[in-house]
Chain A
Amino acid sequence: MESLIDPRTTTFPHSTNMSSQVPADLRYAKSHEWVRLAGDVATVGITDHAQHELTDVVFVELPAAGRKVKAGESIAVVESVKTASDIYSPVSGEIIAVNQAVADNPGLVNTAPYAEGHFLQIRLSDPAEAAALLSPADYTKQIGA
């Protein structure tokens, strides 16, 4: 399976979306997932940049709540018309809730990647991991926005 953004794909600077949103209150993984922290619970989704690269999300496969995951482990699959991509957990912990709405309506990943289009929530087992994720500034630098 291909990674979330095919490294063989080149997009020209003016067609990348300069306007990709990178909210200031989130942390980011290099593999284009975001994390919103509230106490020891992390909400996880994929970034605006990632959904723009994928376009046309037609299917989201979510894990079962209760599963224990390690950072870097595949936790979901998002499918665009063109390809299937793994979503990796940015943090370790237990999945305490999944977003059924995004499974029912995968287009939410495209229309509301930071809100209704989120994937799941994880209760952190190692809060230090979340602190080590990319800052909005670093992620912005990574995607060249």
Chain B
Amino acid sequence: MTRILFSDKLDNCVTRWQSAGFSVIGPVTKDTFSSYAAVEHASDFDLGIVLPDRSLKELFFPQTEPMLRYTIKQQAINTEDFTPPSGKRLIFGVRPCDAAGLSIDDPLFGWDYKDEYWFQRRNDSVIVTIACTKSDDFCLCTSLKLAPDTTNGSDILLRPLENNKGWQVEELTDRGREAFLTIAEFLQEGSEPAAPMAVVPEMFDLDTCVAWLQNPENFESKFWKDISMRCIGCGSCTYLCPTCHCFDIQDEGDTYSGIRRKNWDSCSFALFTMHTSGHNPRSTQSARWRQRIMHKFNYFPGKFSVNSCSGCGRCSRQCPVDMGITETLQKISTLHS
């Protein structure tokens, strides 16, 4: 016997969570485009998609966020901080790869400086993940040693029932337990079996790739030039990535008043490393693509012991020239280190 949340009770749950003070967020499709967005009713959720076009990270690390307002009057400089919005959030129907993305970025944002914008939102949010029963050609969680029912970063894991009428509930954290306590009356004990997990074929051998990347001789390999020849240097892959976290600080305004903002930035852009002098240490697109791969599978795990990729496959799915992590690592795994 396991606890079961039946889909026909979901709307009651949403209402209950809302009255318990949560803003309820979930995958929503508008026209042809999907993202995690606030909902009013359970019917607003689109739980049928493989995964939303946009990743979960932007609910924790928005594309642009005001940090402080400054005003300068004669000699006096005044600043006023913007604090991240507070308020409990329950994010329902998260994909395991998106949730895992959050847990990958946690050590990064809390490493030498604790990023309050990130952690305030992290602490305010309950992540209710639904394990995947379907996947598409681009999913690669298994290649990253994760799975369609990975629990990293989640507070609750829901396993879809075979009869498609609800989910088995697995409580993973206290935060999750607390949120599900409010809807305890809508949960039932049951023995319905869970649907089989999506079958995500392994696309490459990660250890072989990592060994190749760690070999300093391969830094200048001709491979990088060949693989990234068609890269046009847009930032789609980094901006849709659930773990890419680079940002830029911009002052918007004039000499006397303005707002300092934290904006997404991307290692795909030439401007990312451009020096004031005009010198650019990563002057070619191949150097930038190498940086992205090296950072995800060599530098980041070197520091935080986890690969900076959760295998959602958005980079390959959305790439205008059909590149992506999958293709690159697939090719690397066939090279001799």
- A, B from the same assembly: no
Interface residues of A (CB under 8 A from B): none
